[in-house]
Structure formats: C-alpha cells, structure tokens
Amino acid sequence: MAGFSSYFRVVMTNLKDKGFATRAVRAGQVRTPEGEHSEPIFPTSSFVFDSAEQAAARFGGDEPGNIYSRFTNPTVRTFEQRLASLEQGESCVATASGMSAILATFMGLCAAGDHIVSSRSVFGTTRVLFDKYLSKFGLKTDYVPLTDLAAWEAAIKPNTKALFLETPSNPLNEIADLAALSALAKQHDCLLIVDNCFCTPALQLPLVLGADIVIHSATKYIDGQGRCVGGAVVGDAQRVGEEVYGFLRSAGPTMSAFNAWTFLKGLETLDLRMKAHSANANQLAHWLQQQKQVTQVFYAGLESHPGHQLAKQQQSDFGGIIAFEVEGGQEAAWKLINATQFISITANLGDTKTTITHPATTTHGRVSVEARAESGISDGMIRLSVGLENVEDIQQDIQRGLDLL
C-alpha cells in the first residue's frame, strides 16, 4: 500500500501472529480520511490520477495504485488480502465466480499441450469446463479416483502441469491425502491445486499441507447466506499474483466491489458458522445412519467413513455437507425431496439455510451416466447442505420424505 495516497492508513496490516477469527475480522482493512469503522464499498469503474505522468506510471507498473476496477479496486483488494491471510498464502485473486476462478487458474498457468490429472470426484461443471472448453485450447485432462495414490502417479505424464482435486469431494465427502499428493506433485514437478470450497480455511489449510494453489467458490460458505456469486484463487506471488492476476486483468472475470464487500462480511463470521454447520451435520449424519430407508450415508465425521481418520488429521472439523442414498433410485429420491416443507430445494450449498438437491439431475446432470457411475453418484443419492436451523427441525422435515418411502 506504500504507493497509495499518504492519507490512507492500513489498519493492522501485520496480523500473522493473530488468531484465525481476528484475521477474519481485521485483515486487509484500509481506512480512508472519513474514519469509517466498517470497510467501505468503492462502486466506481475507474480512478482519477493527479497528472498524466502519474497515469503513465500506474499503467506502466512503475507506481502502485488503482487504475480500473476490472483489475484494481480497494474493496476487492481488501477481500483478497483477508482471504490470503486466512489461507496463509502470499497472493489472492478474486473472480466473478468459482468456475471463473478455475478458468483463470488454468488459463493463466497452462499452455497448449499441457496435461492435467484431475480427481473424477469433482463438481460436474468443472468436468464440462475441462472436457468441452479447455480441451479446445489443447489442454488434455485425465481423471482418476480421488483416494487412489497409485492411480494419480500412473496418470502423470512428462507434460503434466497440475493435479487438481476437491477435498472433501462433491458430493461423496471422499478425503484426499494432501501431504501424499503434494509429495507426488513435487516429485514430478507439477502443481497441486486444491478446491477448498467445502472446508474453507476455517477447517482446512491446503497450502500448509503442501498444496501450491487453493481455489474457492466464495458463493458458498465464504458468503454463507446465498447472496452473491464469486470466486478466488490463493497461492504465491508469482503464479497467482502475476500469472493468474495477468489473465484476470486481460480477460476480466472480475469480482464486483459490492460482492467483495458482502464476502468480507461473510468472512467475519466464517469461523463461528463452520463450527455450527459441522455440529449440525454431524448430529444429522448419525441420525440418518439409523433410518431404515437410508442405505448409506457419506459424511467424513462418521467413524464408518473410509476417510474418517485422514479427515481428523488434516481438518479441524468435518464440515456441513452430507450425501445419503435411499432405495428406489430417482423416483424415491425425488419423492423425499419434494416432501420437505422448509428445506430449500436448490443446488447451492454453504448457506445458513439447509438446502437439498439430487446430484444426478442437477450438479452432475451434465456429466455422462458412465462418469457419474465412476464417481459413485447413484440415482438414489441426495445431497444435503446442513444449515443453522435447529437440527431437530431439519430431522423432522426429512422424516416427512422418509415416511413416504
């Protein structure tokens, strides 16, 4: 911030020794001469220079400062610095959505002829992006089971640029061994890129565990109330701060100032919310496991889950997402979903309001039947994003559907 006008004051810029909750509330804030307590919103498309010389210096990179809100905005910058602090990264680039964060990462870091190894247990639209669009630019993707380290290693080629995954996975809550995959990536001189959407930095720190880049859909838990769409990429100053940022500056998948401010407010309560989401989900998962109409529950907080011990090692809690299966396929799953009264039927997740969806026909509906089967997504599977309502009320609403099966 040294190049900004002298009357701007950075508030507590060095918070490395402070706790997570403190940084979630304070990191990155800059006060203007007005002395505002809350972070201001800068809804402006451009910024004024003191002179033609200063304009040239800003555009030429010789002087830091605001230029144009496609790539420099004070509110967006505050969000970026705060999230980078929470993820313990050097740089953050905020984007218009979680999918544009993935796009910006691979467009900024890859070239024609590069190869990606991806977990097959990723968000359905991510597979569409890789297979239908990035493939047009000569980027090839192969998919492997998330938890099979030997399959990851076997899929790596001399031109492999990155390993990409979500952990926990969507929607089965599979857990990847981040330390082992980091070692594998370093051995083969490729990047480990982790989507940390389900856990957020409140529950998991992939960079600390050896990842090179972390991606977020800020739409989910970072906002936490289903208000805005946004994304973010966090990592080092070169790859993220220069190369991913360079793509954003030129291509413009930009986060708005208003959305950035909303996400800042979300970060302030993230620590509290993730603990509450996890507590509700854990109680609900154990209850679902006892229901005779439910054939399987996928939640890493259950001791029966194959990733339970690993999740305990690399996460501080188990998160708020549960998947479960019922007998009777799509018909039974839809019947249960339609019977709920207050649970929201929507594919969004990470909200204070509990949401319910049928992955096979929504989030993964654009994925082939074969790919869904490989990922373990059955027609009888239902995904819950457990909110902050009284858990007994959530149980009663789900019970309405279970009683029909």
Q: What is the pLDDT of residue 355?
A: 98
Q: What is the dihedral of CA 152, 156, 162, 166, to 10 degrees?
A: -20
Where does the pLDDT of residue 12 fall: very low under 50, low under 70, confident under 90, or very high at 90 and above?
very low
Work out the average pLDDT over 303-330: 97
pLDDT value at 7 more than 60: no
> Does residue 98 lie within any of the structural domains?
yes
Q: Between 17 and 388, name the one with better pLDDT.
A: 388
Nearest in space to 116 (alpha carbons), one of 169, 150, 165:
165
- pLDDT tens, residue by residue, 84-130: 999 999 999 999 999 999 999 999 999 999 999 999 999 889 999 99
Q: How many other C-beta atoms are found inside a 10 Å radius of the C-beta of residue 30? A: 18
41 DSSP 8-state letter: P
Helix, strand or coil, per DSSP, at residue 319: coil
> Does residue 59 lie within any of the structural domains?
no
Are 124 and 202 within one domain?
yes
pLDDT value at 205 more than 70: yes
pLDDT value at 73 more than 60: yes
Rounded to an integer, what distance in angstroms lies between the CA atom of residue 246 and that of residue 252? 10
Block residue for tokens 């190049």: 3
> Does residue 170 lie within any of the structural domains?
yes
> Does residue 82 lie within any of the structural domains?
yes
pLDDT value at 5 more than 80: no
Domain count, the chain: 2
> Does residue 101 lie within any of the structural domains?
yes
Are 344 and 376 within one domain?
yes
Work out the average pLDDT over 261-270: 98
Q: What is the pLDDT of residue 6?
A: 38
Are 229 and 375 within one domain?
no
Q: Return the structure tokens found at 138.
A: 């000569």
Domain-terminating residue out of 223, 239, 268: 268
Domain-terminating residue out of 238, 268, 298: 268
CATH value at residue 194: 3.40.640.10
- Within 13 A of 175's CA, how many CA atoms are on the CB side? 24
Rounded to an integer, what distance in angstroms lies between the CA atom of residue 171 and that of residue 165? 13
HEC states along 143-185?
EECCCCHHHHHHHCCCCEEEEEEECCCCCCCCCCCHHHHHHHH
Mean pLDDT (the chain, rounded): 94
pLDDT value at 10 more than 50: no
Query: Residue 250, exposed/middle/buried by CB under 10 A (0-12, 13-18, 19+)?
Result: exposed
Work out the average pLDDT over 385-394: 98
Are 279 and 161 within one domain?
no
Residue 295: give the domain boundaries: 271-402
Work out the average pLDDT over 63-91: 96
> Does residue 347 lie within any of the structural domains?
yes
Q: What is the pLDDT of residue 8?
A: 42
Rounded to an integer, what distance in angstroms lies between the CA atom of residue 352 and that of residue 368? 31
Domain-terminating residue out of 217, 250, 268: 268
Q: What is the pLDDT of residue 9?
A: 44
Provide, rounded to the nearest whole percent, the portion of the chain with pLDDT above 70.
97
Q: What is the pLDDT of residue 14?
A: 62
Query: Residue 80, exposed/middle/buried by CB under 10 A (0-12, 13-18, 19+)?
Result: buried
Are 287 and 376 within one domain?
yes
Q: How far is CA 256 from CA 71, 101, 145, 226, 346, in A?
A: 10, 14, 36, 16, 24
Are 257 and 233 within one domain?
yes
Are 236 and 280 within one domain?
no
Q: How far is CA 134 from CA 139, 162, 183, 386, in A?
A: 6, 14, 27, 33
This prediction's pTM: 0.94
Are 246 and 281 within one domain?
no
223 DSSP 8-state letter: T
Where does the pLDDT of residue 317 fall: very low under 50, low under 70, confident under 90, or very high at 90 and above?
very high
Helices (H), 47-177: 52-59, 74-87, 98-109, 124-128, 149-155
CATH value at residue 368: 3.90.1150.10
pLDDT value at 2 more than 70: no
Rounded to an integer, what distance in angstroms lies between the CA atom of residue 235 and that of residue 149? 24
Rounded to an integer, what distance in angstroms lies between the CA atom of residue 20 and that of residue 202? 8
Are 254 and 282 within one domain?
no
pLDDT value at 4 more than 50: no
Are 287 and 148 within one domain?
no
Where does the pLDDT of residue 151 fall: very low under 50, low under 70, confident under 90, or very high at 90 and above?
very high
Block residue for tokens 């029966």: 304
Rounded to an integer, what distance in angstroms lies between the CA atom of residue 43 and that of residue 180? 44
Are 279 and 260 within one domain?
no
> Does residue 36 lie within any of the structural domains?
no
Residue type, 35: G
